[in-house]
Amino acid sequence: MAVGVFGSTGRMGRMVTRAVTEADGMTVNKAADRAGSAHLGADIGDLAGVGSLGVSVTDDVDAVLGVDVAIDFTLPEATLAHAARAAASGTPLVIGTTGLTNAQEATLAEHAKTTAIVYAPNMSLGVNLLLAVVEQVSAALDEAWDIEIVEMHHNRKVDAPSGTALGLGRAAAKGRGRAFDDVAVLSREGMTGPREQGQIGFATLRGGDVIGDHTVIFAGAGERVEIGHKASGRDVFAAGAVRAARWVAGRTPGLYTMRDVLGIT
């Protein structure tokens, strides 16, 4: 299986390159970086620490899409541009980019009408199990149980709350049959007044080199349920992306999630 990697010279891009190279029956055939990058023309294998692959980093998006499947860990604006070109060429795409707005996700869904796209705020197996559990617990507990989501990441993360935290919030809202935008409180400051029943609150922490901690708290009268996940290495995200790439190749057009990939109902 020939794989193209967008954002190939970034931290996640290099991990994806290593993961693909180590996977049976998969090779990195194309690698892209932004225009003007200092890494253009370099061998992506050398940059990823797996030895020369004979694949030079390019800024030609269409060239990277001449593969069986492409993997994208970049920024929202770049991801949408890549998805548009993938849709035009019919290339399946796996997206691990975080920080997309609701409008950008809607645009992604439009592109998925003409090619198969796997998009998930987090590619790890554990987090996607957590998403399923949170939806089920939320459905089982009524709105007398307050829901709060706490996340912590390293001090270089640029979006907040994290895409995974937002995904957990959406799972909780779905479990209760509520529209996420109607109940989400992304931050609190000052004299906010008493907490409104049915809200889903978020708290964002940033510091050090924390890869990703997420906790969903269901707080009731006299008791509290906490469900969480902690990532100790980014390789779990790259491994998930490789699994998604195997799954999505040859699929009919549509916007899929890691729950589809993993068969989680």
d(CA 143, CA 130): 20
Are the beta carbons of 30 and 67 closer than 8 angstroms? yes
Are the beta carbons of 150 and 226 closer than 8 angstroms? no
Strand order in the sheet with 57-58: 57-58, 27-32, 2-6, 69-72, 93-95, 116-119, 254-256
Alpha-carbon distances of 36 from 14, 17, 40, 79, 202, rounded to whole Å: 18, 21, 8, 17, 37
Are the beta carbons of 214 and 133 closer than 8 angstroms? no
Are the beta carbons of 13 and 3 closer than 8 angstroms? no
Which tokens in the block code for residue 158? 């640029």
Active site residues: 153, 157
CA 117 remoteness from chain centre: 12
Are the beta carbons of 231 and 96 closer than 8 angstroms? no
DSSP string over 37-78:
-TTTTSBHHHHHTS---S-BEE--HHHHTSSSEEEE-S-HHH
Kindly state the DSSP code that residue 195 receives in the 8-state scheme. Answer: P
What type of residue is 180?
Answer: F
